[in-house]
Structure 1
Amino acid sequence: MNTIDFLNLANEFELIETTSEPNGYPRNLRKAIIGFDTFEQAEELAEKHGLSIEMFERRDGWDLWTRRNRIFKPFDMANIYVEEGYDFYKTMSFEEFCEREDIQGQLKECTDFYEMQVCLEFFKDLFEEIEDLKEGEILLKDNDSNAFVSKEYTMAYSYDSHQYAIGLIDYNED
């Protein structure tokens, strides 16, 4: 793909500058495109224009994105956050919620009715948040019971002063 065609394609999305260096040092600079709504959209354009689908990472405050590796599916936010110690919840029925081992386990650990009441109030609030989830969303909760809603599968996210994105890069152009 020639540079003009690549830049024209980038007008529909976001053009970024990438480096091969993990420390952000500008080496082997290449332009890439991010900002896709779905992985299928990126796949379609990659196939049509002979581009590579890759993951890019940038630390907050850096100008350049680091090229990480080829990627073959969108980011699975449940897996990413579970590795960081979060619990996640998808839309589920009340019965499914009550059958979860983590819910039953916490109730079994209660030592008195007051503790059980506090626990049940927390579970009630948690389930109400789960009921509010839209299609394709998950609820993520950390160990301090802080919760937020995320898309289950996404093309970009931020975590701990890093931004991650899936995009297209042209290795055919020089």
Structure 2
Amino acid sequence: MREIRGFRLFDGFLPSDSQARMVDEVREVVRAAPLFQPVTRRGQALSVRMTSAGRLGWVTDRRGYRYEAAHPSGASWPPIPPSVLDVWKAVAPEARAPDSCLVNWYAPQARMGLHQDRDEADFSQPVVSISLGDDALFRIGNRERGGRTESVWLRSGDVVVMGGEARLTFHGVDRIAPGSSTLLEAPGRINLTLRVAG
């Protein structure tokens, strides 16, 4: 484990066989709650597609950023896969159980601008991020916008814990390295983000 600006990075936390099993479980989630294209309040489409698992799912549309109890189709979110919950228990054993797992699909051209995860009710609870598939250049900023940033490549099987002083630090994904992993059938990256939403 290494630490960058309070972010705890567990390099290669998941071995290849565990990654493959997790991908199979995530595919079941997507079958039950298909990926959708989110938009901001201003109507700008994000470059990632997403869905969720758990009691609550994170959504964004013209009504803003928020958690909802159902997929945009009206269907209930599927449960968080057991293999994903096992990661949370291993890297955040002191935390409450997560009630939301955001599933982001990054196609090769997708990215995520610097942002804070602040739609949750209790910032004392960490956010846990799992990377599957192609490498992503992850940028870590500050608690306020602006200033010097640091970047690190996240690879398939890496886990990041954002807690404590780092919980409200700005972060984002600058780019994906297509073909850097053979885990998925197509170029791209799956990011799973576990949160205590309520």
TM-score, normalised with respect to structure 1: 0.23
Larger radius of gyration: 1
TM-score, normalised with respect to structure 2: 0.21
Higher helix proportion (structure 1 or 2): 1
Bigger RCO (CA 8 Å, 6+ sep): 1
